[in-house]
A and B are shown apart, each in its own frame.
Chain A
Amino acid sequence: MSADKEILITGIGVISPVGEGREAYWEALKSGSPNFGEITLFDTSPFMVNVAGEVRGFDPLKYIHKRHLRVLDRSTRFLVAASKLALDDAGLEITEDNTHSIGVSAGTTFGSLHSIAQFDRDGLIEGPKYVNPSFFPNTVINSPASQVSIMHKIKGFNTTISTGFCASLDALIYGADFIRLGRAEVVLAGGVEELCEETFTGFHNLGLLSGLKGGESLCRPYDRGRDGLILSEGAAVLVLESEEHARKRNAHAYARIVSCSNAFCSHGNGLFTNSSGLRKAILQALERASIDPGDIDCVCASANGGVELDRMEAEVINEIFGGKTPVSAIKSIVGDTYSASGAMAVSAVVGEIVQGFIPATINITEPEFEMNLVRTVTHTRITNALIITSDPYGNNTAVIIGGV
């Protein structure tokens, strides 16, 4: 085991409301073009808000053979498709010879919440003896990740991480650890979350969505007028690869993982917004990278327009970075994909490093905090970018991605 084994990102696959594939995704971020709209997936008449970031025009047959499609739910289709894009992008072919050194590490907290709830409803309404057993496997949270292994014949390992908003960054940490420990040479690390009535109901009833107090649904991170998030969906997958393995097969590397940190902050009374865990995660990531805050060229924040979360994050960023470092909140464009949001952020940051830009945080009219919030797309060279996520149950994760 080598603790400082270099881990490269050699492939990216994104299925998002703003684009399919890395190029389309990066373009949307560069041009600051969100794609929110009225929800078509389910009836929104019981809700006060009907806007979300749906993945539209997605054709699963481009990625999955017809004969497998019937039982695969929305989450699983997204994750399988994003994995296929990532593998193709990395030019990696999976064979009997290399499959045992390739693994899958996926972040999702709900798997397919809709599949789980629907299976139970079928039992309650039709009677338990009339439930279709072929949908039972979709009720385990690891179903999307496992189908990735089944579809792409990946045998090394297969793990699902469910730490809420931090899940896919934590999945990246897990995958990187497996490469460091010599358990794998390549890991498909990413995350997925689908938009469904059940998840939407939860975010809606907890008062987390923008537009609930009337007015337009608009994601305005760090803005004085912010009133909540816009729920979104999708999957993003990164191909993580040991430098040695990538070199041997002459793979092109986009970026590298500089350092990671997961800091769980125990707080003792359920949901909260406490800054100590996030502060610790960031400082630990910087320390592990042996760099100073001044070496970070841009912070990819997890701010989603939530009143308390954005404030907590802004305070921590200002405290550590002193208001100079550019901060960009891509959820204003992509929306909040919950467990997939960390992988969405990594996919964005890799584009920022490769193409040299920091995406705009859009919809800002009156910034509330003293920080260098990037409001128009900025073209600049990025060597190190910091990605942060924070979950109200106490998880905090920070990852630094660097150029190669």
Chain B
Amino acid sequence: MRRVVITGLGVVTSIGIGKEEFWQNLIAGKSGISPVTSFDTSEHFTHLGGEVKGFEKIMNTIDEDSRSRYSRASLLAMIAAKLAVTDSGIDQVEPEGSIGVCYGITTGPIQVIEHINDILLSNGSVSNELACQLPSNSTLAAIGEEVGLTGEGFVLSTACSAGNYAIGYGYDLIRLDRAKIIIASASDAFSRISFTGFNQFKAVAPERCQPFDKNRRGMMVAEGAGVLILEDLEHALQRGANIYAEIVGYGLSCDARHMTSPSIEGIVQCMKKALKEASITPEDIDYISAHGTGTPANDRTECAAIREVFGDRYKEIPVSSIKSMLGHTMGAASAIEAVACTLAIKQGILPPTINYETPDPECDIDCVPNKSRSHEITYALNNSYAFGGNNASVVLKRFDGY
């Protein structure tokens, strides 16, 4: 079976655009949370979120015509794809075999729906250009403007774990020899519907996102995009590509129990499947990038599941949540977190969980509190969970030669 490596990274987040800025801020423990500007929050319970700053500025790198043709979610993905492609150097070579795309999203077209609602409620008329942005597969066309796509194209809409689903299926397509390169991508734009819904669930923190803290009060709604260039190992070696890390397996599961309340059993199944597919045991995992939204229920459930899978070792394994810094970027989250895992493996540094103050006996893991630290990682596990009980965990491995 073919091996799959990561050869390019692109991110657009509230703490930085491009892998360098993102990584520097990530290990510095910088927060990207600020007052929401996308819409008026005066009638909401909370007022903060993780919006991408300087969006207009980076838009200048994109063709003006495209800017009006695509939704914000598509444009975020487009920018991240452009960064990742440049980073990988695949734009400089004529790849053998095809380039495909797997794209994950939760609420991308939702922002278009919100825009349309605004127009309709003020008796305006909706342009065809805007209506055409509704299907989320329009983002594939947007990514296609930055990358010459010649292979398969999939959009995976599995809510807050969509990024991992996209990475996972991209990994499958290369292993099945149906692509040499996959643009594994995910994005979501800041959404009024998400902000309203999570607020009504009382799941949004008023001031800070504090995963695993006893006094945690919830998540921060955010936006962003993450793109990883997945490549057939042989192909990457042949063209002398810079290899960041390898993907060695993943697991999916469905709670089949409740739309919004997480289940220990479902998450345990998911992590176990990922370890099994990677042909490793719980002993081998050196770092877990947690789903870690900062809601009481998520973090408690995730820690209980980690305890069950990793047994005695659960307190030894560093488990951090970068959502403490950039907020919850929905479908993009696990793709951005996969980028963080990749860089953590490459640099040997663990990103921290910031805003951590008071230990919670129900979350007595090592959450890498507040400060990044050096740590050698061979295997990292990237967890993600979603509405609908759609769980996905991806195993990344340090690449140590052929």
Q: Does B75 contact A (CB under 8 A)?
A: no
CB closest residue in chain B, given A122: B196
Known: A162-B155, A270-B141, A394-B140. Is A147-B259 also a contact (CB below 8 A)? Answer: yes
Q: Does B128 contact A (CB under 8 A)?
A: yes
How far, in whole Å, are A263 and B154 apart by their CA atoms in the complex? 10
CB closest residue in chain A, given B121: A124
Scoring B residues 380 to 394 as 1 if CB is less than 8 Å from chain A, else 0, what string do you get?
000000111110000
Scoring B residues 187 to 227 as 1 if CB is less than 8 Å from chain A, else 0, what string do you get?
00000111011111100000000000000000000000000
Q: Which of A78-86, A111-119, A248-256, A340-348 contacts B (4 or more CB under 8 A)?
A: A111-119
CB closest residue in chain B, given A395: B153
Q: Does A313 contact B (CB under 8 A)?
A: no
How far, in whole Å, are A123 and B199 apart by their CA atoms in the complex? 11
Count chain A CB atoms within 10 A of each CB in B135, B150, B156 and give the residue with the most: B135
Q: Which of A13-21, A23-31, A138-146, A376-384 contacts B (4 or more CB under 8 A)?
A: A138-146
CB closest residue in chain A, given B257: A150
Judge whether A142 and B387 touch: CB under 8 Å: yes
For the A-B complex, the count of residue pairs with Cβ-Cβ distances under 8 Å equals 240
Chain A stretch 344-369: residues in CB contact (< 8 A) with chain B: none
Q: Does B93 contact A (CB under 8 A)?
A: no
Chain B stretch 368-402: residues in CB contact (< 8 A) with chain A: 386-390
CB closest residue in chain B, given A108: B157
Judge whether B176 and A3 touch: CB under 8 Å: yes
Q: Does A215 contact B (CB under 8 A)?
A: no
Q: Does B44 contact A (CB under 8 A)?
A: yes
How far, in whole Å, are A11 and B174 apart by their CA atoms in the complex? 30
Judge whether B134 and A110 touch: CB under 8 Å: yes
Q: Does B228 contact A (CB under 8 A)?
A: no
Judge whether A146 and B389 touch: CB under 8 Å: yes
Instruction: Point out the residues of chain B lying under 8 angstroms from A153, CB to CB.
Output: 256
How far, in whole Å, are A320 and B388 apart by their CA atoms in the complex? 42
Known: A202-B131, A206-B132, A395-B137. Is A266-B147 also a contact (CB below 8 A)? Answer: yes
How far, in whole Å, are A128 and B197 apart by their CA atoms in the complex? 8
Scoring B residues 129 to 168 as 1 if CB is less than 8 Å from chain A, else 0, what string do you get?
0011011111011001101111111111111000001000
Pick from B113, B141, B158: contact of A394, CB below 8 A: B141
Scoring B residues 103 to 129 as 1 if CB is less than 8 Å from chain A, else 0, what string do you get?
001110110011011100100001010
Instruction: Point out the residues of chain B lying under 8 angstroms from A206, CB to CB.
Output: 128, 131-132
Q: Does A315 contact B (CB under 8 A)?
A: no
How far, in whole Å, are A299 and B288 apart by their CA atoms in the complex? 49
Known: A140-B388, A163-B153. Is A393-B138 also a contact (CB below 8 A)? Answer: yes
Q: Does B87 contact A (CB under 8 A)?
A: no
CB closest residue in chain B, given A144: B388
Judge whether B200 and A270 touch: CB under 8 Å: no
Write the nearest CB–CB distance from B209 to chain A, whole angstroms: 19
How far, in whole Å, are A127 and B45 apart by their CA atoms in the complex? 11
Write the nearest CB–CB distance from A40 to chain B, whole angstroms: 22
Known: A109-B137, A158-B389, A159-B252. Is A394-B156 also a contact (CB below 8 A)? Answer: no
In this complex, how many residues of chain A approach chain B with their Cβ under 8 Å: the count is 76
Judge whether B144 and A158 touch: CB under 8 Å: no
Write the nearest CB–CB distance from B260 to chain A, whole angstroms: 6
Scoring A residues 293 to 315 as 1 if CB is less than 8 Å from chain B, else 0, what string do you get?
00000000000000000000000
How far, in whole Å, are A206 and B138 apart by their CA atoms in the complex? 15
Q: Does B346 contact A (CB under 8 A)?
A: no
Instruction: Point out the residues of chain B lying under 8 angstroms from A289, CB to CB.
Output: none
Q: Does A47 contact B (CB under 8 A)?
A: no
Q: Does A267 contact B (CB under 8 A)?
A: yes
How far, in whole Å, are A142 and B109 apart by their CA atoms in the complex? 13
How far, in whole Å, are A133 and B201 apart by their CA atoms in the complex? 6
Judge whether B158 and A160 touch: CB under 8 Å: yes
Judge whether B254 and A136 touch: CB under 8 Å: no
Pick from A117, A139, A160, A174: contact of B107, CB below 8 A: A139
Judge whether B387 and A160 touch: CB under 8 Å: no
Write the nearest CB–CB distance from B208 to chain A, whole angstroms: 21
Instruction: Point out the residues of chain A lying under 8 angstroms from B152, CB to CB.
Output: 262-264
Q: Does A325 contact B (CB under 8 A)?
A: no
Judge whether A266 and B149 touch: CB under 8 Å: yes
How far, in whole Å, are A238 and B169 apart by their CA atoms in the complex? 21
Q: Does A205 contact B (CB under 8 A)?
A: yes
Known: A161-B155, A174-B169. Is A266-B137 also a contact (CB below 8 A)? Answer: no
Instruction: Point out the residues of chain A lying under 8 angstroms from B65, CB to CB.
Output: 269
Q: Does A155 contact B (CB under 8 A)?
A: yes
Judge whether A268 and B197 touch: CB under 8 Å: no
Judge whether B44 and A136 touch: CB under 8 Å: no
Q: Does B269 contact A (CB under 8 A)?
A: yes
Judge whether B254 and A156 touch: CB under 8 Å: yes
Judge whether B387 and A140 touch: CB under 8 Å: yes
Q: Does A1 contact B (CB under 8 A)?
A: yes
Q: List 6 A-B contacts (CB under 8 A).
A: A110-B109, A136-B200, A139-B193, A149-B256, A206-B132, A264-B153
Leading 9 A-B pairs by shortest Cβ distance: A146-B388, A264-B153, A266-B144, A136-B197, A141-B157, A133-B200, A157-B252, A158-B254, A137-B259
Given contacts A116-B193, A183-B252, 12 further A-B contacts (CB under 8 A): A109-B137, A113-B113, A129-B44, A129-B200, A131-B197, A143-B388, A155-B266, A158-B390, A163-B154, A181-B172, A262-B154, A394-B141
